[in-house]
Amino acid sequence: MNPTVLMPIALAIIMFGLGLSLTTTDFARVARYPKAVIIALICQIMLLPVITFGLVILFQLPPLLAVGMMLIVAAPGGAIANVLSHLFGGDVALNITLTAINSVTAIVTIPIVVNVSLAFFDPAGGQIGLQFQKALEVAAMVLLPVICGMIVRKLWLRFAKMMEKPVRIASLIILALVILATVLSNLATLAASIGSLLMITTLVCIISLAVGFFVPRIFRVSRPQSISSALEIGLHNGAVALVIAQSVLQNPVIALPGAVYGVVSILLGFIAATLFRAVNRRSDRMQAELVTSGASLG
């Protein structure tokens, strides 16, 4: 089971599945709620890399693992965020819009974050960064399957809707195999750093979810949109990080944080989404009680 072979296939299927759920309207929808989109993008593109950078220094991760952590936070949100948003009371339309925009902006932000991280954490490691040609590879890997999926949806809508669920299931299975292959091929390195990686990936995921929810709430973004923002920001697309580390940078050590994060984030995402739904229900009950008490006083 060769991760280098599996990963581009996994990413292509995942991003194609994303394209099957997107239309051009999803990109234009930003005009309907610009505040929610802008706040979420600032949190994801600017705030989280700074926070993660600080945590990486605090935990004193080895250079290549530090780069892997930075690569994770530079990756766009994963498809699982849309599913959890639908199940737990988020604004799914906002999730889809954020995913669409993040997938495009990632082709710029990922090379910047990776190259800056390599220059800072591993300056003597040689020229393994994302130069122009490799940055184009990232753009092609991320965008081309999405565009193909959108074309299929445009031309064969019924088929696209029918295939959304099977493709999503297939992508999760393949991603699980990719994570397993990455772990098995780097057991010695993982064993030496598993404690630090588990702690920092857990912290990064929890902080991402919290920032994604509470920062929009501070700016009076609605609770369903804040839930969507939290899931989009907190659950990064691990497949993108794994593919770039293994197939583009050709360094399996950089992929290890992504493999650990892929497992941790799904578990924490479900827990956070459950808490968000509980908060929603409590808020709805309190509002209903206020309306009832107001009516009785009147």
User: How many CB atoms lie under 10 A from the CB of residue 184?
Assistant: 11
Residue 135 has pLDDT above 70, yes or no: no
User: pLDDT category, 133, cuts 50, 70, 90?
Assistant: low
Instruction: Find the CATH number of the domain harbouring 285.
Output: 1.20.1530.20
User: pLDDT category, 206, cuts 50, 70, 90?
Assistant: very high
Q: Which residues make Cβ contacts (< 8 Å) with residue 81, sequence separation at least 6?
A: 95, 99, 228, 231, 232, 234, 235, 269
Do 238 and 259 contact (CB within 8 A), yes or no? yes
CA 140 vs CA 106, 145, 261: distances in Å: 12, 8, 24
Q: Which residues make Cβ contacts (< 8 Å) with residue 171, sequence separation at least 6?
A: 10, 13, 14, 17, 79, 239
User: pLDDT category, 98, cuts 50, 70, 90?
Assistant: confident
Calpha distance 208→32 (Å, rounded): 25
Ranges 140-154, 174-188, 205-219, 235-249: which has the least confidence: 174-188
Residue 193 has pLDDT above 70, yes or no: yes
pTM for this prediction:
0.79
Enclosing H/E stretch for 277: helix 252-297
| Amino acid identity at 115 | N
Look up the domain containing 147 and give its range.
3-297
User: pLDDT category, 215, cuts 50, 70, 90?
Assistant: very high
How many domains would you assign to the chain?
Answer: 1
pLDDT at residue 56, as a whole number: 92
pLDDT at residue 285, as a whole number: 64
